Amino acid sequence: MKKISFYASNFLVVMLLVASTIVTGQTKLPNIVILATGGTIAGAGASATGSAYTSGQVKIDAMIDAVPNIRQLANLKGEQVANVGSQDMSVKVWLDVANRINTLLASKDVDGIVITHGTDTQEETAYFLNLVVKSDKPVVLTGSMRPSTALSAEGPLNLYNAVAVAASPKSKGYGVMVAMNDEIHSAHSVKKMMTTPVQTFQSPEEGMIGSVVFGEVDFFHKPHGLHTTSSEFSIDGVKSLPRVDILYACADSSPDLVDLMVKAGAKGIVIAGVGDGNMNAGTLEAVKKATKAGVAVVRASRVPLGAVLIKGEIVDADYGTVSADELNPQKARILLMLSLLKDRSREDLQRVFIEY
């Protein structure tokens, strides 16, 4: 008799829960926080067909309200952390955003993060976060190439899809991602490849890691390189990063640029080298002098694809330099800035560039 009443009462509780779900129409949606930083997705111009506009004009709440059915994907909360064109993104905003994400994702009440961001430096912010976010919950950046006032603005669908990726239980453990134009890219591999077309973000070497089409999320493979919970980098207590400059090599480039960067306070220099991370003889001599003086010099390439060889025309050990492996100069700069938060041997720095 007792047993029957125990099962009956459990059954009653389950039925009441089901009934309340039907009555309120609510299933348990994931909680997603959207951190807005500006960019063209929040941009506005005077004409729907003109190319002139200003980035970072529309606030996050208005952006969310402009996307039909987005609130059916997740419980959304928007926070305006900046409102700039991403050419004005800064280390300070990176640190603020990363700290905010680490705080939010440590809470059991937050399931994922979306960041709206200009596309010019989106791959840099994504890569920075990939190295310092300490969670396997999804962090997804998105943006748009057309401002909100343009004909066929693609921002609303990109935002819808980014929220779908962040809300999907499939998305855990992929590190920081960029979701735009129906594609999901890893922070490590994504590159802005075109100045204005909507298909600007591509991962030409490792390929996109997944797709998201009208909210349907699919993953194809894991991202390349260590990230988030397996990363050794931390910004706990960090208020600024060491200065690292990028030197763009070309025929007959001026060797004294290396000395100028060192004099200006650079603790590290990334060479956007010609070909396989090469530079002319004068620049190479200036680099050797700089590394002897304790400045870290990393050789990347201005060529869009391919890794820089540790033993190629330049043998790194002969000049005290390090190869960026397949990282482009702007991402190599971020990895070098974070690496220089502690003293490292040249060998350890090379390990870092191979692993991340």
Contacts of ligand GLU in 262-291 (CB under 6 A): none
Give 312: exposed, middle or buried? Use CB within 10 Å, 0-12, 13-18, 19+. Answer: middle
Does 145 engage in binding with ligand GLU (CB under 6 A)?
A: yes
Does 40 engage in binding with ligand GLU (CB under 6 A)?
A: yes
Does 168 engage in binding with ligand GLU (CB under 6 A)?
A: no
Does 37 engage in binding with ligand GLU (CB under 6 A)?
A: no
From 120, 123, 325, 326, residue interacting with ligand GLU (rule: CB under 6 A): 120
283 noted as active-site residue: no
Minimal distance, residue 88 CB to ligand GLU, in Å: 8
From 36, 45, 86, 166, residue interacting with ligand GLU (rule: CB under 6 A): 86
Candidate ranges 67-75, 116-124, 214-222, 260-268; the one touching ligand GLU (CB under 6 A) = 116-124
From 143, 155, 277, 320, residue interacting with ligand GLU (rule: CB under 6 A): 143
- Catalytic-role residue among 40, 142, 283, 321: 40
Does 186 engage in binding with ligand GLU (CB under 6 A)?
A: no
Please say which residue, 64 or 104, places its beta carbon nearer to ligand GLU.
Answer: 64
As a three-state string, the secondary structure of the chain is CHHHHHHHHHHHHHHHHHHHHHHHCCCCCCEEEEEEEECHHHCECCCCCCCCCECCCCCHHHHHHCCCCHHHCCEEEEEEEEEECHHHCCHHHHHHHHHHHHHHHHCCCCCEEEEECCCCCHHHHHHHHHHHCCCCCCEEEECCCCCCCCCCCCHHHHHHHHHHHHHCHHHCCCCEEEEECCEEEECCCCEECCCCCCCCEECCCCCCCEEEECCEEEECCCCCCCCHHHCCCCCCCCCCCCCEEEEECCCCCCCHHHHHHHHCCCCEEEEEEECCCECCHHHHHHHHHHHHCCCEEEEEECCCCCCCCCECCCEHHHHCCEECCCCCHHHHHHHHHHHCCCCCCHHHHHHHHHHC
Q: How many residues bind ligand GLU (CB under 6 A)?
A: 11
Does 119 engage in binding with ligand GLU (CB under 6 A)?
A: yes
Minimal distance, residue 40 CB to ligand GLU, in Å: 3
Please say which residue, 53 or 356, places its beta carbon nearer to ligand GLU.
Answer: 53
From 45, 118, 138, 329, residue interacting with ligand GLU (rule: CB under 6 A): 118
From 85, 112, 320, 329, residue interacting with ligand GLU (rule: CB under 6 A): 85
Contacts of ligand GLU in 312-331 (CB under 6 A): none
Minimal distance, residue 268 CB to ligand GLU, in Å: 25
Please say which residue, 117 or 137, places its beta carbon nearer to ligand GLU.
Answer: 117
Q: How far apart are CA 143 and CA 99, in angstroms?
A: 21
User: Which residues are at the interface with ligand GLU (CB under 6 A)?
Assistant: 39-40, 55, 85-87, 118-120, 143, 145
What are the catalytic residues? 40
